[in-house]
Amino acid sequence: MKTTRKTADKLRYSRVILKELVKTDFQLRYQGSFLGVAWSVLKPLMLFCVMYVVFVRFLKFSDGTPTFPMVLLLGIGLWNFFSEATTMGLNGITGRGDVLRKVDFPKYIIVVSATVGSLISLAINMGVVLVFCIFTHVQFTWNVLWLPLNFLQLYILALGMALLLATMNVFFRDIQHIWEVVMQALFYATPIIYPLSLVVTQLGPKGVIIQKLMLLNPTAQIIQDIRHNLIAPDTTPTVWTMWNGSPLQFIPLLLTLLILWLGAYVFHKHSAKFAEVL
Amino acid sequence: MAEQLPMNSANAGSDVVLKVDHVAKSFRLPTEQASGLKQAIINWTKGIKGYKTQQVLRDINFEVHRGDFFGIVGRNGSGKSTLLKLISKIYVPDSGSITVNGKLVPFIELGVGFNPELTGRENVYLNGALLGFTHEEIDAMYDDIVEFAELEDFMDQKLKNYSSGMQVRLAFSVAIKAQGDVLVLDEVLAVGDEAFQRKCDNFFTQIKKDPTKTVILVTHDMGAVKKYCNKAILIKDGEIIVSGDKEEVANQYTLENTKVNLVQSGERQGLSEQVPYIKIIPHSPMIVTPEDSFEFTVEFETTKVDDYYLSVSLTDTRHGVIVYETSDRAYPMESKSGKQSLTLRLPLNLFNNCDFRVRAAVHVPDPDNPERTIMIAFTNDENAYVFYTRDPQYGDGPLINDVSFPIVTVTSSNAENIDAD
């Protein structure tokens, strides 16, 4: 009885802090700019325009389907979330050293609030994508029912990564620089700005294996899955179609869970020491 | 019976709001300037650890009960703030345990972690949340906080536009007006201007009387310890060296701060190498009436020649106030080494029935400033003396009796108030 009440109290306390932190983070993000919250829609749209001009019009990247611009926009939106959530989470603990040295509160909330803040931006972005989809007459299928699970996996991956990075950054500040480089590499290793089929057309038969290996990366798997389920079920290859039947197709899913477990474990183990090290 | 036992222990436990049990804490301090990879490799090849372990606290034990105003004193670097952070659960002890019953509100390093980009109002709500209060709970406290901080006109300004005094005032108001059970305050008595300090003084006096609120105060101000606290501990080099009586803690702290070589032994508080012995020897009985007087001798021994002065003080232990204190140079003594004594008689006809403690202290002129004196020894609880005035003719309530304090009615609209003569 007493322990359940205690956990209930703790949860209520965590929720109160989470709400306040997300609120202030969001207020602060666009504070002082003329357009304010509108930037959370405008920024990805402008980035999309740049990439569309460079890669679709200029370099002529395309998988040959009319939906490719939408697939590109969706990919950029999803990647932005992953990149923002992990980077904000990474700096979450180190950035709040002054508070941590003065009050004791559940520290994982800082990281969760950073990822939830990015989740709000993601929701806005996805709203925009949806509007574009309707305008360009995308044919939705019953596959959209999978989307909640896809987004859940994306969030779990981002949260696990953020917890892991936040902890490491407290002890080794080099992590923030390393992660920047890793993110850049991951960005190009994931079929975001180019279609996955480009690998085969460029590399020939070798490309088929590389294509399959690339999809074992959880970010690639999730982004392809969401594109597949939302926009283009027929023309987006996913890990499930490429590794069909092989048990290896579950690797990205297992990796996601492993990262969450590892992040939570490492964070929990070291969070008591944060105030002393910072 | 089996059911009663846990009930009893629960009741006994609920009175203790803070229990610090065999707590120890150490920190690793890097010995080299750089802490990067290069230094790590150099250290590794040379086989040095690159850090040294500093034991900040060792085996600290004490309990704080509900309603206490508990003082923690000690010189800079003695481990007070670390102890406070351990109590506030910001640090984790290496060994031992700390149990807190009730909601604890810390106020450490002059702030609660404000964000300069947010307005005063937003900061209050954010901080309240970090302290564990919901939006609705803070709504209820908000006006109180703003009023206490006297910042009504500034709450919608960003915090970076506040003066430093205003920031601290707001942070302090959040901490003390938040409805916590245990308030942990670190070096707060210099907050704000004179008017604000007076306000804080009133607040402390008020909270001291409240049996449901507990305050733990770290301070260097011995006046504050004597005024507000009912219990105190003195920490030196990570250990508690005096625990319990606030007067003794305050006096020992003053001794610690003078350049006196103290006698290093737990039972011999208040003594130094220059004055290894001081004691009050009573001549009157332990229980006297207010019509008697109290006679006693102060004996002390010195090991070198110096200009010695004795001072004495009388404390009302029941009310916890200093009734009388002579000046530091009240009784010039002989400038010699060896035993000296002074016999005094205190008048008691002013008082009602009370419990008194007589103390004495030895002072010498301060070598840096001969105008002033430094205390080099005092009577600790064992060497001081406690006596009682008891007489059924006198009351038990206030300190001063009716005979010695005859109030005269000058005029009154009610004729009955005017004395016949």
Give the pLDDT confidence of B279-298 residue by residue, as tens digits: 898 888 888 888 888 999 99
Question: Is B407 contained in some domain?
Answer: no
Quick check: B85 and A20 CB within 8 A?
no
- B248 vs B377: CA distance, rounded Å: 11
**Position B126 pLDDT exceeds 80:** yes
**Position B177 pLDDT exceeds 90:** no
- A7 vs A1: CA distance, rounded Å: 10
Question: Is B76 contained in some domain?
Answer: yes
| Residues of chain A contacting residue B112, judged by C-beta atoms under 8 Å apart | 102-103
Same domain, B96 and B166: yes
Residues in chain B: 421
To the nearest whole angstrom, how far is the Cα of B149 from the nearest Cα of chain A?
20
**Position B107 pLDDT exceeds 90:** no
> What's the pLDDT at B136?
87
3 state DSSP class of B395:
coil
> What's the pLDDT at B11?
38
Same domain, B380 and B282: yes
Question: Is A200 contained in some domain?
Answer: yes
| Residues of chain A contacting residue B172, judged by C-beta atoms under 8 Å apart | none
What does the pLDDT look like over B46-102, one tens digit per residue? 777 667 788 888 888 888 888 888 888 888 878 888 888 898 888 888 888 898 888
CB of B275 within 8 A of CB of B301?
Answer: yes
| Residues of chain B contacting residue A277, judged by C-beta atoms under 8 Å apart | none
> What's the pLDDT at B33?
57
Same domain, B224 and B81: yes
Question: Is A1 contained in some domain?
Answer: no
Residue B309 forms contact with A (CB below 8 Å) = no
Question: Is A9 contained in some domain?
Answer: no
Residue B126 forms contact with A (CB below 8 Å) = yes
Quick check: B118 and A24 CB within 8 A?
yes
Question: Is B162 contained in some domain?
Answer: yes
Using a pLDDT cut of 90, give the percent of chain B over it: 3
The closest of A19, A168, A267, A99 to B88, measured between CA atoms, is A99
Nearest CB to A16 within list B85, B90, B134: B134
Same domain, B212 and B272: no
Q: What are the residues whose beta carbons fall under 8 Å from the beta carbon of B82, sequence distance 6 or more? A: B25, B56, B57, B91
Question: Is A3 contained in some domain?
Answer: no
Q: What are the residues whose beta carbons fall under 8 Å from the beta carbon of B229, sequence distance 6 or more? A: B69, B70, B71, B217, B246
Quick check: B90 and A102 CB within 8 A?
yes
Question: Is A97 contained in some domain?
Answer: yes
Domain range for A79 is: 17-277
Same domain, B198 and B285: no
Question: Is A117 contained in some domain?
Answer: yes
Same domain, B207 and B277: no
**Position B264 pLDDT exceeds 60:** no
Quick check: A102 and B27 CB within 8 A?
no
B183 vs A63, residue with greater confidence? B183
> What's the pLDDT at B131?
84
Question: Is A157 contained in some domain?
Answer: yes
Give the Cβ contact number of residue B355 at 10 Å: 14
Question: Is B127 contained in some domain?
Answer: yes
End-to-end CA separation in angstroms for chain A: 37
**Position B195 pLDDT exceeds 50:** yes
CATH of the domain at B178: 3.40.50.300
Same domain, B218 and B335: no
How many domains in chain B? 2
Same domain, B239 and B269: no
Going by pLDDT thresholds of 50, 70 and 90, the confidence category of residue B315 is confident
To the nearest whole angstrom, how far is the Cα of B110 from the nearest Cα of chain A?
9
What does the pLDDT look like over B220-235, one tens digit per residue? 878 788 888 888 888 8
Nearest CB to A103 within list B106, B117, B134: B106
CATH of the domain at B273: 2.70.50.60
Quick check: B115 and A100 CB within 8 A?
no
Mean pLDDT highest for which of A267-271, B224-228, B239-243, B403-407? A267-271
Same domain, B273 and B132: no
Going residue by residue through chain A, which has 278 residues, state the pLDDT in tens, using 9 for 90 and above: 566 777 887 888 888 888 888 888 887 877 777 877 788 778 878 877 887 788 778 877 777 777 888 888 889 889 999 999 999 999 988 888 888 888 888 889 999 998 998 898 899 888 888 888 888 888 888 888 889 999 999 999 999 999 999 999 988 888 899 999 999 999 999 988 888 888 888 888 888 888 888 889 999 999 999 998 888 777 788 888 878 878 888 899 999 999 999 999 999 999 888 888 87
Interface test with B, best of A102, A170, A178 (most B CBs within 10 A): A102
CB of A191 within 8 A of CB of A219?
Answer: no
How many domains in chain A? 1
To the nearest whole angstrom, how far is the Cα of B108 from the nearest Cα of chain A?
6
* ipTM metric: 0.78
Question: Is B275 contained in some domain?
Answer: yes
Q: What are the residues whose beta carbons fall under 8 Å from the beta carbon of B333, sequence distance 6 or more? A: B308, B309, B310, B340, B342
Question: Is A11 contained in some domain?
Answer: no
Same domain, B220 and B275: no
Same domain, B205 and B285: no
Quick check: B126 and A31 CB within 8 A?
no
Side-chain half-sphere CA neighbours of A19 within 13 A: 13
To the nearest whole angstrom, how far is the Cα of A128 from the nearest Cα of chain B?
30
Domain range for B87 is: 64-243
